[in-house]
Every structure is written in C-alpha cells, then in structure tokens.
Amino acid sequence: MFRRLKEDIQVYMERDPAAKNALEVLLCYPGIHAVWFYRVAHRFYRRRLFLMARLISQLARFLTGIEIHPGAKIGRGFFIDHGMGVVIGETTEIGDNVSLYQGVTLGGTGKEKGKRHPTIGDNVVISAGAKVLGSFTVGDNSKIGAGSVVLKPVPRDCTVVGVPGRVVVREGQRVREGIDLRHDLLPDPVAEVLARFEEEIAGLKNRLQELESRANREDRS
C-alpha cells in the first residue's frame, strides 16, 4: 500500500511543475485524494457493496469536486490536474499513465445498459473541458484538445480537436513515446481553413486588380 502511495505522489511531482515537494502533494492536491477515495470505494464495489461504494464516492465528490464512479477501472500512473468538475462514469476503463485536466467528462449517451462509457488507452492526455461520450476506445498516446467533444473512436497516436472531435494529423511531427503533456500545442483546423480562405481571397483581389488595370489600358487606347 505504501509503495503505491509513494508511486502516486511521484506521478504528481513529475507531471505538475507547481508541485514543490511530496508533503504539498499529499496535503493539497484534490486529484490524488479523489483517486485514493476511489480505490477504497472500488474495493467495496467489487464486493457488491454498492451503497457503501457510492457513499464513499459521493463523499469524495463533496470534498474534491471530482466524481469517479466506484465501478470504473483505472490503471497505474493516473494524474488529475486541478480536477474540479471531472466526471468518470461507471463502465469507464482507463489505462496506465493517463492525464486528465479540469472539467473532463468520460461519460455515456442515452440510457443503454452494459458498457456505455469510453475505454482510454495508455499515455493519453485529455485537456480541460473535453467530453468523451460513448462506448468506444481512445487509442494509446493520443491527445484530446481542450473543449473537444469526442463521439467516436480515436486511433492510437492521434490528436483530436473540435466539436464534434476530429482527428488532426500533425505534419512531420512524430508522436513521441511516453507521455506528452503539451496539450497547448494542438493544431486548430478551423484557423487553418480560415487562413486558406484569406490566401484565396488575397489571390482573387490581386487577379481582379490585374483585370481592372488591363481594362483601363484598353479603354485609353
């Protein structure tokens, strides 16, 4: 148990540059507190003591602002930064070394029974405010941009942005092995389209000016 607690603290020390020391992480980080509550609740859930499991998860929600259903399955190296508003559904499965930021929802759609929440692969980063909704897989080493709404499977080594979420290929940039936390360096497909429109409009303006100049010369002659 103590080895696992030490591992959890080390994860926060490595991924949060604001963490000054282990004692600060131990006392002041709601993400790590929510995970510890979840582990206790998950043990009760596995023993089919569902009410006790939900009471513990509700207490964790009240204290941390993070709601993790005790039925979820979470791997090692799990990191929640700030965490206020994070919601993780009952049938969610999370791999190793996954990072979530505030406001993330791993939820379901409709009232279907059975597996209705996403499966998150290893080394995935899900940025602030992103929503991953439905029973599908987000592949290993992928990144979900801030505010994105993901409604369909994401292949491994991809970046997803937008509403609804779209896979965006980063030209010439290979996805690095391990955990890439630079969720601020995501392409913006809308901005790219607008930039292309601006280039085309500028080209049309130049062409129009050329035609007007030619027409004026012909009139003078």
**Amino acid in the structure at residue 190:** V
Residue 80 tokens read as 């929640």
pLDDT at position 180 is 58
Q: Is the pLDDT of residue 170 over 60?
A: no
pLDDT at position 61 is 94
What DSSP element (H or E) covers 160? Answer: strand 159-161
For 125, residues 6+ apart whose C-beta sits below 8 A from its C-beta are: 98, 99, 142, 143, 144, 179, 180, 181, 183
Tell me how far apart the alpha carbons of residues 99 and 11 are, in angstroms, rounded to a whole number.
Answer: 10
Q: Is the pLDDT of residue 207 over 60?
A: yes
Q: Is the pLDDT of residue 5 over 70?
A: yes
Share of the chain above pLDDT 90, in %: 51
Residue 171 confidence class, pLDDT cut points 50, 70, 90: very low
pLDDT at position 121 is 93
Highest mean pLDDT among 106-120, 140-154, 188-202: 140-154
Query: 51 near 15, Cβ under 8 Å?
Result: no
Higher pLDDT, 188 or 4: 4
**Amino acid in the structure at residue 24:** E
Tell me how far apart the alpha carbons of residues 47 and 66 are, in angstroms, rounded to a whole number.
Answer: 23
Mean pLDDT computed over 113-122: 91
Residue 177 confidence class, pLDDT cut points 50, 70, 90: very low
Residue 175 confidence class, pLDDT cut points 50, 70, 90: very low
pLDDT in tens, 50-88: 999 999 999 999 999 999 999 999 999 999 998 899 999
Mean pLDDT computed over 26-33: 92
Averaged pLDDT of the chain: 86
